[in-house]
Amino acid sequence: MAITPEALKAAFARLSPGVEPGLPGITEVVDEPVPAEIRERLLTGRRPAAVLIPILKAGINEPLRLLLTQRTAHLRDHAGQISFPGGGLNPGEGAIDGALREAQEEIGLDPDKVEVFGQMPQYHTGTGFSVSPLIGFVQTPCSLSADPGEVAEIFDVPLDFILDPRNMRLETRYYRGAWRSFLAVPWSGYYIWGATAGMLAQLSRIVRAAG
């Protein structure tokens, strides 16, 4: 069944308000299911960040597509990985403003082209970030330009495919000195895994739960 803009908005409208005022979402951590009484201690020292999950909204009845980036190979964190545009927040900066700013800096996406309508669960990465994922529609056509210092490639994938649980795998690999299990979503030569795949799995659950 094709995912429509109306279905996406309706799925998030059923959720409680997120940390951004008036924005529906979920604020629970998804990759560190710890008791509430020790969560604050675990979060101490983490850097706040935000990403934009950009859904390309074309003409009526055209399938929705998800915009992704591949990071350059020389970056310190998540080098070469598939990711959403985003990054660390500036002091006093909100998640929405930070996600839109980073998207403009990384891929040249005009904030006026983006309609943010929901918030995903906060995601804690092994590199020390607490990430607030914001989901929004991107009106097309839009002009994009990759920052060569951060982004090696900009591409888009069919949203229906990428959110289908049948296309998500749980894999185990030896990574950074240990065997680790993680979600992965291969698509047309691209290998989407780690935090990006985890956020996509959560988005899939939100959409499926809404029926």
Residue 158: per-residue pLDDT: 96
pLDDT at 164: 95
pLDDT for position 91:
92
pLDDT of residue 210: 76
Give the pTM: 0.85
The pLDDT of residue 137: 97
pLDDT of 14: 82
Looking at the DSSP assignment, which residues form a beta bridge with residue 56? Answer: 65, 138
pLDDT attached to residue 185 = 93
Query: CA dist 207 to 3, 25, 80, 202, Å?
Result: 8, 12, 29, 9
Tokens 């996600």 belong to 99
Domains of the chain (ranges; CATH) run: 5-159 (3.90.79.10)
- Name every residue whose Cβ is closer than 8 Å to that of residue 178 and which is 6 or more positions away in sequence: none
The pLDDT assigned to 182 comes to 80
Nearest to 82 by CA among 186, 201, 207, 202: 186
Burial class of residue 59 (count of CB atoms within 10 Å of its CB; 0-12, 13-18, 19+): exposed
**Alpha carbon 166 to chain centroid distance?**
19
pLDDT recorded at residue 35: 46
**Mean pLDDT for back-to-back runs of 10 residues, the chain (211 residues):** 88 74 54 46 71 89 92 59 92 94 97 94 78 94 92 95 93 75 89 90 88 70
